[in-house]
Structure 1
Amino acid sequence: MAATAPRSSPSLALMILLLIATPPPSQSFSYSEYRRLFSIAHSLMSRVANLRASRGDISGSNRARAMAEKLERGLGMGFWGYMGLAGWDYLKNYAWRDVSYSELYGAVSEANELLSWMRELSRAESDAERAVWVGRNYQNVLRVSSSMLRRLLKVFRQSGTLREVVGTVQREVVDGGLLRDCLEIGCNDLKGLIQILKDLGLQYFPSPTSSHNSDL
């Protein structure tokens, strides 16, 4: 059963705590950036749903459409509810505990590798060129993506909203062919999504030492 958004004053208190816990304004994420994250993910999953439907994969299309509908609700009045759930999960499970920095920064490194591939793929000038690139590089992109998601599951090791989201994406990538579908419809949305999530991870889990952070 899907989690429901908090309805009473505690959700507002949690959002205030989240704002207090975030870095200074020059480094923190704005409301518009969170909205952009939801918007890009919604666009991507809607296009994947349509692609799967066009080739007769009805069950796969329904899974992608269900994810898109959840994201669409997040873009509406339920946005702060989603933020409250994720914020509560972060505060309860990660804000005051040690996290696996080796896994986190391993995931960041792999995200950078994926972004490099997405920039390379974006230079393809036709569907045929993109298909050739995907055929040549897909297994490497899948390997790094799978490794990054495994690392994130180790970072988000406590049961909650953040782990649930990562687990859902991992299942679709490993078992549902989500990554190949994303590459087939184009890489701009995927590239934007990876970039935002990487920046978000660095915001909420800063390096324990400044020297470590300066190396990224």
Structure 2
Amino acid sequence: MKNASIIIRQTSDKMAYVPRINPLWIVFITLFISVFPLGASTYNWGAFRVQTEPSGAIVRALGTFEYLGESPTEPFAFTMDRYMGYNGFAAGRWFDLEISKAGYQTQYSRIFVPFTEKYEDFAQKRPKVFMFTLRPLPTYKPYYVPPVYPPYPYYHHNQPGSPYHKNTVEITSDPRGVSVYIDGDYYGQTPLKVNLYWILGVNGDKVVVFEKSGYESNQKILGPFQKNLHAVLQPRGQRRY
């Protein structure tokens, strides 16, 4: 009886044995089933659209250099293909975008658009929206730099054989208080005296423009040896005979 009890106990121990399974395998199998069969087969369409501030920017997809339109763009739908990728456990597609607009810095952005819909129509109705703010190009304001004539040791202004010529011109107008621009640079209002410089044989005549609010502008030509310049401005809208 003692031997029989030992045999029965050993037999019962073998029947109660349960094989041990690594918990990591259970987690891996669960994730594999949830991601691949369900996610890839149920949701296989995605869509997105691009908005910018300001609007009217040209949007292209790099790689294929596909033109997607001007912002705000129409919904762009896509399905599973060889460009499919993952962002974590989400299946979808990566896009490299080029966003450009005149007067603004070109922007390059990488976006991920997941598969969220089962049909193309549903994807186009509910696209993922990406918003970008464009930065204007830096502007450089030009400023006037007066010409600098290098001094020559043996040549001075208004000397025989010198190419450098200095001339003092008295400028008047009718009416008074007219703005004077010489070669595009503002010199003041009439009447005024200005010192002008020429390099004979290099600089030609100077263009003098007279402007005043309510009057037609007038343009005169000034030579290097001319001492006086007078301009008459006609009221704006007055008929000339």
- Give me the TM-score of the superposition, normalised by structure 2: 0.19
More strand by share: 2
- Give me the TM-score of the superposition, normalised by structure 1: 0.21
More helix by share: 1
Higher relative contact order structure (alpha carbons within 8 Å, sequence separation ≥ 6): 1
